[in-house]
Amino acid sequence: MQYVELTAAASKTRESAYAPYPKFAVGAAVLSKEGRVFVGCNVENISLGLTICAERSAIAAAVAAGHRDFEAIAIVTGSKKPALPCGACQQVMAEFNPSMKVVVATVASDAEQFSLKELLPWPAQVLLEKRV
């Protein structure tokens, strides 16, 4: 499996997640095309709609550091099977690279890899282009 170090960074960051409600801790690590890694974890809120996903947290950290070109993202959960990113996170990823590699893994090291285009074949940008 490619992106072993990226997945390890996501797994380590998962330990910092704030997940007192559904208790679903998630860590993410995004790899810039320049080779820099930025991490994020989920921050739950009692009002679940206000929860910040790990994927968007990692991307926001990268953008705040001046990076906007991403090659891949790794997402690690404690679930039995790797969990795919939610639709909102997929759309945010597509904003920066619709072909980004997405690695989903568990703390038990089960992992799968996808192209974001497989997960989100019609991001908002494509739909908007077709309507204009």
Which residues form the catalytic set?
A: 55
Q: 14: burial class by Cβ within 10 Å (0-12, 13-18, 19+)?
A: buried
Number of CB atoms found within 10 A of residue 26's CB = 27
Rg (the chain; Cα; Å): 14
- The Cα–Cα gap between 119 and 35 comes to 24
Q: Provide φ and ψ at 125, rounded to 5°.
A: -60, -40
